[in-house]
């Protein structure tokens, strides 16, 4: 019973945070469209760059783990 209520609380918290984020984004875009557009593009570009960097570094980490060279 406690696991079920805890799972429900987590889902509700996630949905509330998602709704607040969406409302904030719409409000910002309504009141400051150019600034919001620039900030959104910058954040998405940063996420894209970090994803590409992570993919380029990943094969090196996998090969080191296969050879038993683990760093702390």
pTM: 0.57
Cα–Cα distance between 4 and 35 in angstroms, integer? Answer: 42
Clarify whether residues 36 and 70 are in a common domain: yes
Clarify whether residues 18 and 44 are in a common domain: no
For residues 45-59, one letter each, b for 16 or more C-beta atoms within 10 angstroms of the residue's C-beta and e for the rest, the string is eeeeeeeeeeeeeee
Range of the domain at 18: 1-31
What pLDDT, on a 0 to 100 scale, did the predictor assign at position 50? 95
Inter-CA distances, 61 with 47, 49, 56, 65, Å:
20, 19, 10, 6
Clarify whether residues 48 and 65 are in a common domain: yes
Clarify whether residues 23 and 42 are in a common domain: no
User: What is the domain count for the chain?
Assistant: 2
Q: What is the mean pLDDT of each run of 10 residues along the chain (72 residues)?
A: 84 97 94 94 96 82 60 52
Clarify whether residues 43 and 67 are in a common domain: yes
Which residues are CB-neighbours of 70 under 8 A, at least 6 positions away?
64
Clarify whether residues 26 and 59 are in a common domain: no
């Amino acid at each position: 019973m406690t696991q079920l209520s805890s799972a429900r609380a987590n889902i509700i918290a996630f949905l509330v945070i998602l709704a607040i984020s969406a409302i904030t984004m719409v409000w910002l875009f309504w009141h400051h469209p150019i600034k919001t557009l620039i900030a959104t593009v910058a954040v998405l570009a940063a996420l894209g760059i970090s994803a590409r960097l992570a993919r380029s570094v990943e094969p090196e980490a996998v090969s080191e783990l296969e050879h038993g060279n683990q760093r702390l």
